Amino acid sequence: MLAARGIGHSYGRRPVLTGVDLQVRRGELLGLLGPNGGGKTTLLRTLFGALRPLEGTVMFDGRPLEQLNPRQIAQRIAVVVQEPQSELMLSVADMALLGRTPHLGMFSRRSSRDDAIAAAALEKVGALGLAHREVSELSGGEKQRVLIARALVQEADCLLLDEPTNHLDIGYQHQVLDLVRSLGMTAVVVLHDLNLAARYCDRLVLLDRGRVRADGEAREVLQPELIGALYGVGAERTAAYDEVPQLLFRRPEGAGDDT
């Protein structure tokens, strides 16, 4: 459904993505992982046209993304990224309604149908009771749910999320990923927690220094030697819990030594 082919990008002379191929299949939840600075956000931005890569193409439903205008893209692809503070000064209801923007004509006013779609999305994420609160006042977990509601209001086919579990406690992390999973949408989620990704994602892609290092199911990608080498830690596989491969980490050799 969404595919990146041969993506290359650099900021100035420094390459940040090199020959990246990525295939997101319809209905799958794909986890995009990798060390800090590996290029995850940059790649995600190319997937919704916020960044035009210097090399390669992003295809959406068999068409180059660059042939779609921003409004057409927003009708098909919804994103949940860190919001600028100014956006958070809205009420929850107004924030959700922003998701209707790509469907409204330039001079058309929002209708009762738009209000109903927004209310249904807030209900779905369990945030309808927050409708009159200001987004800036919400807890991190509540805020993420509202941002996901706004994405649902967009009625897009595909959802891209950049670190939606950032700053959330473990309970909220599970809640947000449970919610994303329950939507059954084609989705790409950038995550740092490898074990959480293994639990919720159908497939994992590991990006390091701008290149795809592994692509497959969790048991294929979360190889202790590979992960240990990429992150500079000791890693070992624990017995699979609920059939989900999980890793245990040790601090790097020599770290914290006084000698």
Ligand X SMILES: Nc1ncnc2c1ncn2[C@@H]1O[C@H](COP(=O)(O)OP(=O)(O)OP(=O)(O)O)[C@@H](O)[C@H]1O
Asked if 186 and 60 count as a contact pair (C-beta separation under 8 A), the reply is no
The Cα–Cα gap between 80 and 111 comes to 24
Nearer to ligand X, 198 or 207 (CB): 207
CB of 41 to ligand X, least distance (A): 3
**Chain-centroid distance, C-alpha 39:** 13
Decide if residue 143 touches ligand X (CB under 6 A).
Answer: no
Q: Using the rule CB under 6 A, which residue among 6, 37, 126, 129 binds ligand X? A: 37
Q: Which residue has the tokens 């999980």?
A: 246
Decide if residue 227 touches ligand X (CB under 6 A).
Answer: no
Q: Using the rule CB under 6 A, which residue among 16, 33, 73, 177 binds ligand X? A: 16
Task: For residue 14, give the H/E element and its range.
Answer: strand 14-24
Decide if residue 11 touches ligand X (CB under 6 A).
Answer: yes
The SS3 of residue 97 is helix
Nearer to ligand X, 94 or 215 (CB): 215
Q: Using the rule CB under 6 A, which residue among 2, 7, 40, 154 binds ligand X? A: 40
Decide if residue 165 touches ligand X (CB under 6 A).
Answer: no
Decide if residue 164 touches ligand X (CB under 6 A).
Answer: no
Q: Using the rule CB under 6 A, which residue among 4, 7, 20, 39 binds ligand X? A: 39
The 3-state secondary structure of 196-248 reads HHHHHCCEEEEEECCEEEEEECHHHHCCHHHHHHHHCCEEEECCCECCECCEE
CB of 80 to ligand X, least distance (A): 15
- Of the candidate spans 19-27, 35-43, 64-72, 137-145, the one that interacts with ligand X by CB under 6 A turns out to be 35-43
The Cα–Cα gap between 51 and 42 comes to 8
Nearer to ligand X, 16 or 125 (CB): 16
Nearer to ligand X, 206 or 222 (CB): 206
| Angle (CA) 68 72 75, round 5° | 145
Decide if residue 108 touches ligand X (CB under 6 A).
Answer: no
CB of 107 to ligand X, least distance (A): 35
Q: Using the rule CB under 6 A, which residue among 22, 24, 38, 131 binds ligand X? A: 38
The Cα–Cα gap between 220 and 110 comes to 48
Task: For residue 192, give the H/E element and its range.
Answer: none
Footprint of ligand X (CB under 6 A): 11, 16, 34, 36-42
